[in-house]
Amino acid sequence: MPEPIEIQLKKGVLGLCVLALLARDDSYAYEIASRLSDAIDMGEGTIYPLMRRMQTDGWVETYLVESPAGPSRKYYRLTDAGRRALEDQGREWRRFAKAVDDLITEADTPVPATTDTQEGGAAQ
């Protein structure tokens, strides 16, 4: 069953988005989830398996912060490996996005020369 391309794309870049968020500031899961759910409309529950995966990969580490109200909160911060992953994936994403962008722009703007040759080819 084909899945909407939107979901596939989002799932693919979710990790990159989290890395980017954490690069700016350490944060806790609820905050990350609400930022991402606002920005790219993802299910909030996904954040926990994702954070665990990133912990397994050694991209993030956790520490506890006392909170004035209620129990202490688990914060996530990027490790050096996480920073490198952000650099690599960010570069890859930009290259990919640019390539797709170029293709879409190409499709939008008719190029007269190409159209001519295509018509010529079709007529023969």
Strand partners, 60: 78
**Does residue 95 bind other proteins (CB under 8 A)?**
no
Question: Angle at Cα 83 formed by Cα 35 and Cα 14, nearest 5°?
Answer: 35
Closest approach of other proteins to the CB of residue 68, in Å: 12
In this structure, what is the dihedral angle of CA atoms 32, 38, 41, 44, given to the nearest 10 degrees?
A: 40
**45 near other proteins, judged by CB under 8 A:** yes
Query: Does 37 help bind other proteins (rule: CB under 8 A)?
Result: yes
- Residue 43 Cβ vs other proteins, minimum distance, rounded to whole Å: 4
Residues 46-75 that bind other proteins (CB under 8 A): 46, 48-49, 52-53, 55-56, 70-71, 73-74
List Cα–Cα distances, 124 to 77, 85, 112, in angstroms: 64, 52, 19
User: Which of 81, 39, 41, 42 has the alpha carbon at shortest distance from 58?
Assistant: 81
Residues that bind other proteins (CB under 8 A): 3, 7-8, 10-12, 14, 29-30, 33, 37, 42-46, 48-49, 52-53, 55-56, 70-71, 73-74
